[in-house]
Structure 1
Amino acid sequence: MKRYHQYEPLIIADFTANIWQHPLHKHNHYELIYIRTGKGMHVINGVTLPYESGNVFLIGPEEAHSFEIKEQTHFIYLKFTDQYMHGAGGQIRDGVQHLEYLIKSRETHYAGFKLSAQDSRIVDMIFNLVVGLRADSFTNDQIIWMQVLSLAAILQRNMPELKPVGPRGRDMQAIFCYIHKNIYYPNLLKAPIMAGHFNVSQDYIGPYFKRNTGLTLRQYISDYRYSMIRQRIAGGNYSLKQIANDFGLTDESHVSKVLRTSK
């Protein structure tokens, strides 16, 4: 399978196509894809789903996807790397948690975001603004980043997050979604708090999670926090103090302890 490699932190693409030119592929970056006009099918991870004007998709590096165009389609792409999120050019990104949450919960919205009429109008304006800023993306970098965060906020409120316990597959999506969203707030990841959120007993949620994932709830949270902290450290733009503040940890030594105990 073809794999595309992007080395720039951010690429903004705006194009219209009658025939999709790319094979089924993966890539090393994330893609926010806006369907300005047109219709067809989006093939992602072996599942074929219809798309139409106004749809937004979020694709990660390990998603294999392609489009089958049935009606001329106007695509707008925001293609960004981990470097873009975690301090491109040595600049630490404010508000990165919102985008991290959206990315880590991709499994809840493979089929695209179902936006309200009002949110659809706002998203259209944001994408149009970003396209208008791309001619000088270096000078407009901070403005573009603010638009990306605005998109993240709108897409988050259109995610199918479930609070009550329902069918099993959807239950696990909801639990993962809750953990990813609240990884920065340790007090909200305690079993009694999570059990209350999902309206189940404290003695139920841990065994339920272990039965469906093979990991204890505590181990999954620990591993997930570890992977996110390691990602920030690898970027070289975050101090241990900043990381501690971001993840609700006591201080720098607490960060070091998390890294030691999660290896």
Structure 2
Amino acid sequence: MDYQNIDMNYLTLSSIKDGLKEHYHNGYELIFITEGSSKFIINNSNYDFPKNHLLFINNVEKHKMFPKSIPYSRYMVIIDSDYLDDIIKENELLSIFKIRPSNFKHGFRIIDEDVPFVKSILNNLNNIYSKKESLWYIEFTSTLASFLVYIYRNYNNQFPIMNVKKSEQKVFEIQQYIDKNFKKNITLNFLSSKFFISKYYLSHTFKHVTGFTIKQYILLKRIAHAKDRLYHTDDDITTIALSSGFNSQSNFIRLFKKKESITPLKFRKYHKENTV
């Protein structure tokens, strides 16, 4: 994963019919609505977001969007999750993308007096991305990191880590380990032993903090990696299955279809023909 997996645009939709179907990208997504309003379905959560709302969506969350009032305008930033994780490394900032406790909301309102500054930062990011001058990705990611720091300082009650007890901090270490090693054979017993934590406490706490069981999270990371390979390469299904941590092609196809309601080959065909 690298800086090449960065995308950004500013888009205006003029018709309510111009909704965004459930779509594919393998990265963290940040959206700021500047005009109009929209309905979002993110995993199993439904939201109505008017203008001046800022949204954070991670790379294992399915989502759809439907404009409710037009014109509908928004900034969108997509950045590779591994790339941003390696640059920032701070759990406080990354928690807005990575942690999903039961009370988590994917978006919140930016107060009126902060809106001009937020727009200026996002407009600057959009210019950096559009021009792509030498070493643009360093300027882009440093500007994005500064923006996240600004949001953290002024809206820190929206960051999930603020609600995590000190005794639960080890979950972040374990999540980061899974992020880097999901292709390996990771079990609850293995993690319990490696991180010196009761497997029963780990199982409960990981679910409470991240919103996923350990087994679910590993599967979602593997499927996200497989989607990336299906979309960006012409590798055969067996190669993708094994390189994503699945022990066989048949197991991969079965689990992929169960989770995505579509086979890997049909996913590849659909999303390459319907690029957003």
TM-score using structure 1 length: 0.57
Residue identity in the other structure for 1:104: K
Change (3 A) 1:109 1:56: farther
Partner of 1:30: 28
Residue 173 of structure 2 is aligned to residue 225 of structure 1:
yes
Tell me the distance in 1 between the aligned counterparts of 2:85 and 2:24.
Answer: 22
Unaligned residue ranges in structure 1 (runs of 5+): 1-5, 88-92, 163-172, 180-188, 191-216, 235-256
What's the offset of the Cα at 1:60? 1.2
Partner residue of 1:42 out of 35, 40, 43: 40
Partner of 1:72: 71
Kept after mapping to 1: 8 A contact 2:58/2:98: no
TM-score using structure 2 length: 0.54
What's the offset of the Cα at 1:23? 1.7
Tell me the distance in 2 between the aligned counterparts of 1:40 and 1:94.
Answer: 30
Residue 144 of structure 2 is aligned to residue 158 of structure 1:
no
Question: What root-mean-square deviation, in Å, do the aligned CA atoms of Structure 1 and Structure 2 show?
Answer: 3.5
Higher relative contact order (CA 8 A, sep 6+): 2
Change (3 A) 1:106 1:38: farther
Tell me the distance in 2 between the aligned counterparts of 1:28 and 1:46.
Answer: 19
Residue 129 of structure 2 is aligned to residue 134 of structure 1:
yes
Unaligned residue ranges in structure 2 (runs of 5+): 183-191, 200-276
Change (3 A) 1:75 1:48: same
Residue 11 of structure 2 is aligned to residue 15 of structure 1:
yes
What's the offset of the Cα at 1:27? 4.1
Percent pairwise identity: 15
Residue 94 of structure 2 is aligned to residue 100 of structure 1:
yes
Q: What pairs with 1:114-129 in structure 2 (closer than 5 Å)?
A: 114-129=109-124
SS in 2 for 1:113: strand
1:53-101: per-residue Cα shift (whole Å, max 9, x none)?
Answer: 22110011232221211212112111011232144xxxxx256545312
Aligned residues: 183
SS in 2 for 1:24: coil
Tell me the distance in 2 between the aligned counterparts of 1:112 and 1:134.
Answer: 24
Tell me the distance in 1 between the aligned counterparts of 2:124 and 2:164.
Answer: 31
